[in-house]
Amino acid sequence: MSDLLTIADKTYQSRLIIGTGKYKDFNETRDAIETSGAEMVTVAIRRTNIGQNADEENLLDYIPPEKYTILPNTAGCYTAEEAVRCCKLARELLDGHDLVKLEVLGDQKTLYPNIPHTLKAAQALVDDGFKVMVYTNDDPIVAKELEAMGCVAVMPLGSLIGSGLGILNPHYIQLIKEDANVPIIVDAGVGTASDAAFAMELGCDGVLLNSAIAHAGNPVLMASAMRKAIEAGRESFLAGRMPRKAYASASSPLEGISR
């Protein structure tokens, strides 16, 4: 079955996008990413050396851009200006690479996105020719606005970054997906394999995660779990699940159940 994900005119077999931070070392990063089957990996430009510091180990020696789509991200930016500057630095470091993941955070406590700054930065980046995948909250109106602006993927949070609380509000994620014409990728919150499968069953086009693998007891084994979970959730969505019923003999779905 051919079921490819297309982002900014490039196609991917895998619907899992993996972060590169929080691992023990670059060897573990590489092993986990290889096992996950991910074809796109995201890199925090402010925290990870991809050539800024000539003296340090370079992530790209472990995760080669010939093999993976590198997705520079603006983690650690709290204003539109910082985020835009960060993307420009990435484009320079990566020889004109224009696919970026924009994230503008609201505060250090929650790492919840700052939506007004996100909107502003997204517009500036699109105007400047970037292909913007944008981290956002689960607001369906904002999601439409980001799509209308020209972002190439909209990435609502499942729950807070680093929380592992799963998809706290599947209803809004579904509302976003229902009306979207660009890929919707759940970004942040996935803590375990069933969370990832569930995100895909909601109809989302992909999942981006980092801590769930990097902070698992065994990151490489969790990477394998996530690969399978994403595929399982996608196939389950495409297959079409059985109807829910209050009990098997009920003639209509969920008749008689109150909540």
Interface with a copy of itself in residues 189-228 (CB under 8 A): 191-198, 201-202, 211-212, 215-219, 221-222, 224-228
**153-156 sheet: strands from edge to edge:** 153-156, 131-136, 99-102, 69-73, 40-44, 16-19, 206-209, 185-187
Determine whether 101 is an active site residue: yes
Which residue, 42 or 114, has its beta carbon nearer to a copy of itself? 114
Residue 159 annotated as part of some ligand binding site: no
Cβ 86 vs Cβ 125: under 8 Å: no
Residue 50 CB neighbours (<10 A): 20
Cβ 94 vs Cβ 50: under 8 Å: yes
Q: Look up residue 42 and give its DSSP letter.
A: E
Binding flag, residue 79, a copy of itself (CB under 8 A): no
Which residue, 93 or 175, has its beta carbon nearer to a copy of itself? 175
Residue 189 annotated as part of some ligand binding site: yes
Interface residue with a copy of itself among 241, 251, 252, 255 (CB under 8 A) is 241
Residue 188 annotated as part of some ligand binding site: yes
Binding flag, residue 229, a copy of itself (CB under 8 A): yes
Which residue, 49 or 123, has its beta carbon nearer to a copy of itself? 123
Which residue, 124 or 165, has its beta carbon nearer to a copy of itself? 165
Which residues inside 94-133 make contact with a copy of itself, applying CB under 8 A? 106-116, 119
Binding flag, residue 37, a copy of itself (CB under 8 A): no
In terms of DSSP bridges, do strands 40-44 and 69-73 run parallel, antiparallel, or are they unpaired?
A: parallel
Amino acid sitting at position 150? G
Cβ 36 vs Cβ 230: under 8 Å: no
What are the φ/ψ torsions at residue 19 (nearest 5 degrees)?
-80, 160
* Cα distance between residue 136 and residue 166, in whole Å: 16
Interface residue with a copy of itself among 14, 52, 79, 174 (CB under 8 A) is 174
Which residues inside 130-169 make contact with a copy of itself, applying CB under 8 A? 137, 139-142, 144-145, 159-165, 168-169
Cβ 136 vs Cβ 118: under 8 Å: yes
Residue 76 annotated as part of some ligand binding site: no
Least distance between a copy of itself and beta carbon 102 (Å): 16
Which residue, 98 or 106, has its beta carbon nearer to a copy of itself? 106
Least distance between a copy of itself and beta carbon 96 (Å): 32
Q: Which residues of 153-167 are buried (b: 16+ CB within 10 A; e: fewer)?
A: bbbbbbbbbbbbebb
Least distance between a copy of itself and beta carbon 135 (Å): 13
Residues belonging to the active site: 101
- Binding-site residues from annotation for 1-deoxy-D-xylulose 5-phosphate: 162, 188-189, 210-211
